[in-house]
Structure 1
């Protein structure tokens, strides 16, 4: 629908819409006066106009002029309806283009198809209107009343058809509300999102420059920032080339990644200082554990001399394992120092974590030997303290099991009875010339764990009952 009525001398305007200068009819009183004066005077008045090449429209009765006026009014009304429909279609096309720029969902594709079908209806109504306009020249001097009446009828029908199509278009426009609102929301987000991405990249670049000025190379961060350059190029090319959803997603991703680079760049001086501190701390700890590991062998020697083999056999590997772990820790510390010098921060951090794990293992193994000797000394001197501790735990659990009951629940009584028997067997192992104190200690610990489990079950059941 391209023609726009009411614009003179435009090629797209139908022929009947081009303005013509009309000669007005002679008013009634003047006509009567000319009749009284007679023909000579009438001829004399008409003579100058005839010599000038002009003329007057043929005069018809009042009915013909009324029909012409009604047809002209119908033509004007149809032109207004045509213009209103054309304007609405142009506005709707902008809305459809907005939706298709953002949304590729089935609903959006269906809206495009429906708009195309509606466009066909608009074209049909427009052609009917244009044909009606072209078919009747209401400015003709010899326009008859019947022709004017037909023109009025056809133009009125064309106007009504244009109105019906306009109503269809309005209903379709109202139905686009949700799709259009979503599309406009995304378009409103587009420019701020792209600007945020640009600002994030600028902030990351400035942070990186500041870090480099302090003597840190930050090569890995520079590489990550450089990898975002093609994305910035695509953002600058715009959503028209890459699509609105894709551009929004790209802008948000660039913002996240650039922000991460900025944060890491700003933390880099602190990270370097932290790694330096950990290198010194772990090196000091490794030296201390080396000294402590040298005391394991004398501890094992005392264990061998005073206690049965079962009390210390599982610790025989500790000196060699500790020495090996110390060597590995020192090697990893050297690698971490090299990585720190090359400013490979991730590698340095990973190596320091490995060193810490090795040193923790050494600490546990070295402590285990000393702790073993301490506990065996205590139980050898006074085993009754361990026995009483375990019996108290059993009696406390038995009282809890009987609370509010005449007989204990077999599910609780059985494991508690087993705990009593197990403790008695452990105490019996202390008899003899070379008692296995370590077995005794591990058994009493196991008894206390089983009793604690029964206590936990009883409390959970009673809590659930309340």
Structure 2
């Protein structure tokens, strides 16, 4: 029971006792007055009758002013009671808000709000005690109530009412300041039930998808294990936010939805995944066979390169045939392992092995293609190196024109690499004049010059774009 509850109970008990006292008093007085009239001697009876008819008993009357003060005191008492009720109701409502915030929010702001509310509670206990003391100290229904006592009662009750009202005003202001925290907490509470239900439904959907896959004859042991790992989380969701907290329950529900949805999606994709693995097995096996045939053609290409060009043009390709054979053998071995994994329905293993096979075959394909491409390019440049020279000169001159556009002289950071590129181009051309020119070096130099020039052009355009 809160402090306000205790105060209300105490006030109710006190008021009930006073009510019972008032109900019993008039009847007892009537009996006593009747007995007095019967037992009094005749002369005294004659003297008493006028007084009885005039006022009734021993009640003391103090005129219109006295009755006015009594009425004012009673009005003050009623106003104080109303203020007490309003403060108690406001405290009860605010306690619900504080408990709502505390159930959801553990931030420093929420903890401070709870502490401030406790401080308000102590203040409310004080003003409530002041009110109860004032009520208990003055019985406004007494027949012999003095005007001065009624005035004191009015003053004390008015003071208690003002204290209760001030506390209520401050409590309302405090309550208004809690709106952001309360809105956030209520939003999370509103999410709670739908989030938990969504988690349950997602788990059910994942379980149904897993059953359908197994009915189709496919294994899904890894998915079943992942789904089983969510069982403890479901248990905690069923235990509710009262035991685990609203924030943790919301996070748990979101996590269950995410993980269960992933299991469901993978289970539904599993039949297609099996078909895709079957297709890849056939495709990669065919590609490995084709690369075996192509790699056999590398040796004749190397022989021609050795016969017609200097060693620098083909030395880096010497190990291509051997590396191609090794890669193809490894790829075929991994394909057999992937086939066994597919038969055992170890889907992740099969997928990983096929990725390894693809990487091996890609590397082999590039190496075999490089040998043929090298011979083609060397044949072309040995017959007509001028085409490569013209292509590179055009790139350099185009970059020089761009560097001079709108300027009297080019920026040194642009001119220097362009000048170096011109010198590099001239050196590469001069190297072709020997008896056994290194055409591969010439081609790589031309490509290097064009790369440098392209970088300078990109830099110029970026700088001018920023300046615009």
Give the TM-score range, shorter chain.
0.7 to 0.9
In the TM superposition, residue 133 of structure 1 has moved relative to its aligned partner by 2.8
Q: Of the candidates 229, 233, 236, which is equivalent to residue 231 of structure 2?
A: 229
Give the C-alpha shift of residue 329 in structure 1.
0.9
Distance 1:80 1:402, change over 3 A: closer
Confirm whether residue 314 of structure 1 aligns to residue 316 of structure 2: yes
Kindly tell me: are residues 60 and 455 of structure 1, through their superposed partners in 2, closer, same or farther at Cα, counting changes over 3 Å?
closer
CA shift digits 1:319-373 (9 cap, x unpaired):
1100011111111212222222232222222221111111111011111111122
SS at match of 1:241: helix
Indicate conservation of the 8 Å contact 1:14/1:134, yes or no. Answer: no
Q: Please give the alpha-carbon distance, in whole angstroms, between the structure 2 residues aligned to 1:410 and 1:69.
A: 103
Q: Distance in 2 between matches of 1:402 and 1:88?
A: 81
Structure 1 residue corresponding to 2:87, chosen from 85, 88, 95:
85
Q: How many residues align?
A: 443
CA contact (8 A) 1:5 1:14 kept: no
Secondary structure of 2:106's aligned partner: coil
Counterpart in the other structure of 1:244: 246
In the alignment, structure 1 residue 118 sits paired with structure 2 residue 106: no
Residue range with higher mean Cα deviation, 153-162 or 211-220: 153-162
Equivalents in 1 of 2:398, 2:233: separation in Å?
70
1:98 alignment partner, one of 97, 100, 107: 100
1:159–1:57: structure 2 CA closer, same or farther, 3 Å change rule?
farther
User: What residue in structure 2 maps to residue 389 of structure 1?
Assistant: 391
Task: Check conservation: 2:60, 2:143, Cα contact below 8 A.
Answer: no
* Alignment pair present for 1:60 and 2:40: no
1:392-436 C-alpha deviation (Å, 9 max, x unpaired): 444444555555666666655555554444444434444454333
Identify which of 2, 16, 22 aligns with 2:5. Answer: 2
Kindly indicate whether residue 189 of structure 2 is the aligned counterpart of residue 205 of structure 1. Answer: no
User: For residues 84-233 of structure 1, what are the structure 2 equivalents within 5 Å?
Assistant: 84-140=86-142, 142-233=144-235
Range with bigger deviation, 441-450 or 276-285: 441-450
Alignment of 1:362-441 (within 5 A): 362-401=364-403, 415-441=417-443
2:78 to 52, 76, 79: 76
Q: Is the 8 A contact 1:239 1:247 kept in 2?
A: yes
Query: Residues of 1 paired with 2:220 and 2:173: CA distance?
Result: 61
* Range with greater deviation from structure 2 (419-428 or 217-226): 419-428
1:275 corresponds to which of 274, 277, 280: 277
Structure 1 position 114, deviation (Å):
2.0
Pairwise CA RMSD: 3.4
TM-score relative to the length of structure 2: 0.83
Aligned match of 2:38:
none
Distance 1:450 1:145, change over 3 A: closer
Residue 179 of structure 1: CA displacement?
A: 2.2
C-alpha deviations, 1:228-271, integer Å up to 9, x for none? 11111111111111111111211122122222222222222222
Shift of 1:163: 2.6
Q: Distance in 2 between matches of 1:91 and 1:406?
A: 81
Q: Structure 1 unaligned runs (5+)? A: 27-38, 47-55
Structure 2 unmatched runs, 5+ = 31-44
**Distance in 2 of aligned mates of 1:324 and 1:104:** 62
| Structure 2 residue corresponding to 1:304, chosen from 303, 306, 319 | 306
CA distance in 2 between partners of 1:143 and 1:409 (Å) = 108
Residues 11 and 209 of structure 1: is their aligned pair in 2 closer, same or farther, counting only changes over 3 Å?
Answer: farther
Seen in structure 2, the aligned counterparts of structure 1 residues 140 and 57 have a Cα distance that, compared at 3 Å, is farther
* Distance of 1:72 and 1:413 partners within structure 2: 102
**Bigger mean CA deviation after superposition, 344-353 or 241-250:** 344-353
Q: State how far apart, in whole Å, the 1-side matches of 2:414 and 2:73 are.
A: 107
Structure 1 residues 17 and 270: alpha-carbon distance in aligned structure 2, compared to 1, 3 A threshold: farther
| Structure 1 residues 1-32: Cα deviation after superposition (integer angstroms, max 9, x where no partner) | 22576999x65756335573264999xxxxxx
SS state of the match for residue 345, structure 2?
A: coil
1:3–1:12 contact (8 Å) kept in structure 2: no
8 Å CA contact 2:230, 2:256 repeated in 1: yes
Q: Distance in 2 between matches of 1:4 and 1:416?
A: 94
TM-score of the two chains, using structure 1 as the length reference: 0.83
- Which residue in the other structure is 1:258 paired with? 260
Are 1:423 and 1:443, in contact at CA under 8 Å, matched by a contact in 2?
yes
C-alpha spacing 1:163/1:309, structure 2 compared with 1 (3 Å): closer
Give the conservation status (yes or no) of the 8 Å contact 2:101–2:110. Answer: yes
Bigger shift: residues 106-115 or 447-456: 447-456
